[in-house]
Amino acid sequence: MKSIQRLHRELDPRVRRSLAGALLLSAGLVGGTLGVVALRVQQVQLAYRLDALRAERVAAETRLRELEIEVAALRSPARLEERARRLGLGAPTREQVRLAREYVPAGTGLAAAHRSRVAATHERIPIR
């Protein structure tokens, strides 16, 4: 009987290195492509977030302008006078007005009182 012989051929080491190099290059290309795609997805997400923040800022600025107008209307002298009249308030009479010494015109305020006290003290001390 005749035995069947199989041929056994060893691979060339250069072919193995070429395959390993091609595999590494392919893995690098796939990794790089995935990195670029991930960066692009992040860029799109940030663009949406930026648009949302811009819209929020515009809404806040609009609300701020509305509030400033409302404050100006509430502070208007005509509105305050009308509100005071509704509450039963009126302009004070001359007898109802009291001036604080600090706000009385020159010569009668706190500084003048201090000067007069100092002057009175000097008058009492005999000079020899």
Q: What's residue 10's pLDDT?
A: 73
- Euclidean distance between CA atoms 23 and 7, whole angstroms: 28
Global model pTM greater than 0.75: no
Domain positions in the chain: 28-90, 98-128
Q: Taking residues 42-63, what's their average pLDDT?
A: 98
Mean pLDDT of the chain, nearest integer: 83
Instruction: Transcribe 98-125 into DSSP letters.
Output: ---GGGS-TTSSHHHHHHHHHHHHHHHS
Q: Taking residues 40-56, what's their average pLDDT?
A: 98
Token pair for 14? 């250069």
